[in-house]
Amino acid sequence: MVIRRLVGRWQGVVLSLIGLTATIWLGLTGQLALYIHPRYFVFTVITVIMAVIAGVLALAAFAFAPTAQDGHGHEHGDEPGSRWGWLWPVGSVLTIVAAVVALLILPPSTLTTATVAQRDLNGSASALTLKAPALPGKGDYSAFTVRDWASLLRSGAGQDFFADKTATVTGFISADKTDPNVFFVTRFVVTCCAVDAQPIGVPVYHPGWQNEFKTDSWVTVTSSFRANPNAASREAIVLIPDSIKPTTQPAQPYVY
């Protein structure tokens, strides 16, 4: 069938062009950072463009070249046993439509607690120690991020160290699997791309938080550090805020 041959030859090209369009659009709108580290933006866009151009040129060389079937008086699709041959091109078209919807229509989304559940929160030593925070000489910790505070907590610093320090952290809520009174202000550390993203978080003691907030909702917490009232919890030091401020997801949700 002519349609089947054309779809079969050009399906890859169309899918590549859809991927190219999606990549360029994400780059222009600043949303490519939801999938890869910013330092790879230029390299990724150039690589995708060159790959698609090469693919189009290669396929164009033989796309309309005659095949063995062209020399026959009929197509195999015309044979009685091939009456279901139309299913293949229809499936190919549906694949292309699905790619358009997934890459060009549906909005890009960030990693959520679904990914946190699959990976060990604060379990990656490299995510926490690759960029250890420099302690300020004058005691100004206002610029410290979720990653900085999580790194200090993981380092084993005692209650005396945190006693006079106040943190302001922004992230999405993920539950503590072992203590229902605690949730984490969570962010993802991205080294290369979303595939290698590692979750980090700062524990917040707030009994009944489930009745006020949903997991994955973004909040900003400003509080001092204190000993966890639950001595059995694995998080010995936590934030105990007087109030928690709901906020919107920042333009750059990941930490690098």
From the CB of residue 59, how many other CB atoms can be counted at a distance below 10 Å? 14
Which two tokens mark 148? 């900085």
Other Cβ atoms closer than 10 A to 159? 11
Give per-residue pLDDT as tens, 34-75: 666 665 556 566 666 666 666 666 656 655 555 555 545 444
Residues 4 and 90: their CA atoms lie apart, in Å, by: 9
pLDDT number for residue 27: 65
- pLDDT one-digit tens code per residue, 206-220: 999 999 999 999 999
**What pLDDT score was predicted for residue 100?**
58
Query: Rounded CA gap, 48 and 17, in Å?
Result: 9
**Residue ranges in the chain modelled with pLDDT below 50:** 2, 71, 73-75, 77-81, 130
pLDDT for position 80: 45
Pairing state of beta strands 182-189 and 237-239?
unpaired
Whole-angstrom distance, CA of residue 40 vs CA of residue 23 = 12
Question: What integer pLDDT is reported at residue 176 of this predicted model?
Answer: 93
Domains in the chain (CATH in brackets) are 2-105 (no CATH), 113-255 (2.40.50)
Model pLDDT, residue 99: 58
Fill in the DSSP letter of residue 218.
Answer: E
| pLDDT at residue 129, as a whole number | 60
pLDDT of residue 12: 66
Q: For position 68, what pLDDT does the model report?
A: 52
Prediction pTM value: 0.65
R_g of the chain, CA atoms, integer Å? 26
